[in-house]
Structure 1
Amino acid sequence: MIRTSVLNKSIINHAQLNIQKRPFVITTALTAIGSLLFSENNRLASQMERGELHNKLTKDNSPREDKPFFTRPEPNFPSHIPLYTYEKLLMFLGSSAGAFFHPERNEFIVALGESTAISPILRRLQTKMLSDPVGRELLRDQPRMTSTSLNLDHLRELPHNSIGNTYVRWLDREGVSPDTRVTVKYIDDPELAYIYQRYRECHDFYHAVTGLPIIIEGEISVKVFEFMNIGMPMSGLGALFAPLRLKKSQKERLYNIYYPWAIKSGLNSKPLINVYWEKILDQDVDEFREQMGIETPPDLRNLRKQYFEKLKKAKKIV
């Protein structure tokens, strides 16, 4: 009993000692923090009094520029938006998924195209253009394609089989306009950005001279044709992954008819990037195809129509 009471008394004394120490520790800590804050307030007040807080000066009394935590490089041309490498990578990943699941949304296609238009590919196209007199002229003039610059009303008055009239009839039939082509933003070099802009704006001419519509099979076929001729990575990615979501009948038409055509015609034809379309709008389209080495593929709309007619007949028989 004696030992137990002594032990209890010792525990009680130790607890009372800790209780007495806690206020001392807390008070000391609060005092230290308060003195630091008070000292910092005094320092800031002194800076304000001397006019140094918002008007920082260097040792030679010249204004000191504040450096923000995050800075973006200056744009290299009016529409340019500089991106860091990790931002381009994130844009590529996001636009790839978006383009696969929502190919009808243009913003994903645009972002994927620019994020995959890497400098080595564009430099190769630049060399190809600089080695050709028409390509050099394009780089010098840097024309843009719009409904105003092309004068669509004038194109409708050209001969039926001219390039210009073929192009504008294709636009009217598909319900599209050259004004929908977005300005390049994420390619850093101004001339390389123009080369990609030119490639983007000429896309509808490739549709027109081949006669392929803008339905999914036609788009994929033109992308394969472009990839074999020009070499843009996005076109190759489209050829690989876009058919994965198609029906069996669509895949069969692509793999059996349009892929062989696109590969052969794209490889055998002259570089499309060096065509100054604005200066040959009155030329006969058949002569142009012959000069360039472009074969006309089977009419896709007719093939689809024939397929659906056979499907209807088969259902009636059953």
Structure 2
Amino acid sequence: MSPAQTMFLPDNASLFTRMRVASQCLKELKNDPTNPIYGQTFNLSLNGNVYASLAHQLQRSEEGRRLLSKRPSLQGKELDLAALERLPEGTFGHALARYFRDNKISPFETTLQLKNDVDYLAKRYRETHDLLHVLTGYATDVVGEMELQAYLLGNLGLRTTMFVLLNGTIGQLKAPQSGVERSEYLRRVWAAYRRGRASPRFLDFWFEEHWETPVATLRARLCAPAKA
């Protein structure tokens, strides 16, 4: 059986099937960590129920229904980074464009088709990863990535974030990186988790309508204050 067949995730898949697909995706991601298909399928295989619950909640409000109906996209092909960087310094769009340039990375892209609202919310989650680095202020080094995963776990309760955080923490405790001691690492991750739990849900926010909004304004609106 080929990897593509092994990683096919049928509708209403059983727990066994979802775990099998997630395991295969993770294996492939170790060799190709930025592959959007593996990443998206891994995301869906473990978090489908969370997205289904969120979609149900969004259908209850006018703004939520607008999001699911319009399905705005934050993929790379939708972002004019040159235009965003020309916005005034301090605006969200300018900060995001500089983030991609300074870190020498590109916005998320995927070729997966969206069959339903669950697929869309899974894609939306992947698209917002880099935006959240800008808003939360968490760095892109090993510890900063674990802080963001802890924040996401607290905010959305996704199984993938728990899995990544657990593996990253085991590695950090065995061999601390970035000059951060074990006790400091655990303190920062716990603080990020608590911050995520205290913050408003971000996944249904229309970031596309706030490129000219100051980063500080969005941070105050979407992120609880960072605490030690």
Q: Once superposed, which parts of structure 1, at least 4 consecutive aligned residues long, lie more than 6 Å away?
A: none
1:196 aligns with 122
Q: Matches of residues 100-179 of structure 1 in structure 2 within 5 Å?
A: 102=30, 105-107=33-35, 109-118=39-48, 120-178=49-107
In structure 1, distance between residues paired with 2:142 and 2:32: 9
Contact 2:43 / 2:122 at 8 angstroms: preserved in 1?
no
Distance 1:104 1:251, change over 3 A: farther
In structure 1, distance between residues paired with 2:27 and 2:184: 25
2:4 aligns with none
CA deviation profile, 1:186-211 (whole Å, cap 9, x unmatched): x8x51110111111111111111122
Equivalent position SS for 1:121: helix
Note the C-alpha offset of 1:283.
0.7
How many residues are aligned here? 212
1:90 aligns with 20
Contact 1:222 / 1:262 at 8 angstroms: preserved in 2?
yes
Distance 1:164 1:103, change over 3 A: farther
In structure 1, distance between residues paired with 2:64 and 2:23: 33
Higher RCO by CA contacts (8 Å cutoff, separation 6 or greater): 2
2:195 aligns with 265
1:254 aligns with 185
Q: Which stretch shows the higher mean deviation, 283-292 or 243-252?
A: 243-252
Structure 2 unaligned spans of 5+: 1-7
In structure 2, distance between residues paired with 1:170 and 1:140: 30
1:289 aligns with 219
Distance 1:117 1:193, change over 3 A: same
1:26 aligns with none
Q: Matches of residues 1-318 of structure 1 in structure 2 within 5 Å?
A: 83=10, 85=14, 87-96=17-26, 102=30, 105-107=33-35, 109-118=39-48, 120-178=49-107, 180-184=108-112, 190-246=116-172, 247-248=175-176, 249=180, 251-257=182-188, 259-296=189-226
Contact 1:265 / 1:294 at 8 angstroms: preserved in 2?
yes
Equivalent position SS for 1:261: helix
Distance 1:170 1:296, change over 3 A: farther
**Kindly, what percent of the aligned residue pairs are identical?**
18
Note the C-alpha offset of 1:137.
1.8
In structure 1, distance between residues paired with 2:139 and 2:187: 18
In structure 2, distance between residues paired with 1:232 and 1:177: 24
Note the C-alpha offset of 1:132.
4.2
Note the C-alpha offset of 1:123.
1.6
In structure 2, distance between residues paired with 1:254 and 1:182: 33
Distance 1:251 1:172, change over 3 A: farther
CA deviation profile, 1:13-53 (whole Å, cap 9, x unmatched): xxxxxxxxxxxxxxxxxxxxxxxxxxxxxxxxxxxxxxxxx
